[in-house]
Amino acid sequence: MKVKISLLVMLSYASALSAVNALELPTESTVPGGIAIISIHTEEKPEAYFNDQRVMVVGSSDNWKAIVGIPLTEKTGTQVLTVKNNDLKTNYQFEIRNKEYETQYLTIKNKRKVNPNKQDMSRIVAEKEIISKAKSHWHDNKNVDLQFIKPAEGPYSSPFGLKRFFNKQPRKPHSGLDIAAPKGTPIAAPADGIVINTGDYFFNGNTVFIDHGQGLITMYCHMDHIDIKEGTRVKAGDKIGVVGLTGRVTGAHLHWSVILNNTTVDPVLFLR
């Protein structure tokens, strides 16, 4: 009997280990705008927090992985992930390395897209609240797909993290990855998820947000038109719309953002 029980335990452990090993994780890059992957050894699935934002946790018993999005503005050096397991709190330290992003200068013909007037600002403020709500959305999902397909065909025209100047005026760093493609090029969901927001926004133009679970959100901007409704469940490869040049643009392209624990990170880290 003892032999049978030991064998059963060994088989269960091997099965759990195999499941963890089979889990496809994004590429780790512990720099501002990157991702830290931190191992957590607890029996039950814990909750993890970084900068007061809840963090995705995947894996299985005694081998959980916290997938932490690192803000572009985060300082280099030692940072702390707080893990809560029942009433116990544990701090896990990890290091953030420096990364210098390149500078990009763009000329925008519509000057209001660089220096909005009073009416524009009222719209921008109202839209910011809606966009922030979408970016911070959370729903539990045990089976989050962390390996994405490319959402549109075309070369990368502007990488993530660029220090940007519009009409020689400094603006926030580039919070996504631009894919150059002609107007009308299909845009596909990179992984399974739920459409949580669609809208036409001042800077972003026609935009779609997809929630993939546990704080992983993807955003698609400057679309010509949207072919999906809020609340729709999508599968990887489903068409959500087409490339356009709405909002603040210099030409037709897809701006694709990946948000993790309410932080924009480099989408390339999730591509297969």
Q: With a cut of 80, say whether residue 12 has pLDDT above it.
A: no
Whether the predicted pLDDT of 205 surpasses 90: yes
Distance, C-alpha 180 to centroid of its chain: 20
What's the CA gap between 242 and 182, in Å, rounded?
A: 9
CATH class of residue range 2-96:
mainly beta
pLDDT tens for 50-86 read: 999 999 999 998 899 999 999 999 999 999 999 998 8
> Rounded CA gap, 69 and 32, in Å?
9
Mean pLDDT in residue range 252-257: 98
Helix ranges restricted to H, 70-150:
118-135
Contact call for residues 81 and 68 (beta carbons, < 8 A): yes
pLDDT at position 71: 97
Class of residue 39 by CB neighbours under 10 A (exposed 0-12, middle 13-18, buried 19+) = exposed
Distance CA 161, CA 252 (A): 20
Domain boundaries, the chain: 2-96, 103-270
Superfamily name and number for 103-270: Glucose Permease (Domain IIA) (2.70.70.10)
pLDDT (0 to 100) of residue 230: 97
For the chain, what percent of residues have pLDDT higher than 70? 92
pLDDT digits (tens, 9 = 90+) for 151-202: 999 999 999 999 989 998 988 899 999 999 999 999 999 999 999 999 999 9
Q: What is the pLDDT of residue 258?
A: 98
- What per-residue confidence (pLDDT) applies to 9? 32
Q: What's residue 171's pLDDT?
A: 86
Tokens for 157?
Answer: 């025209």
pTM of the model: 0.89
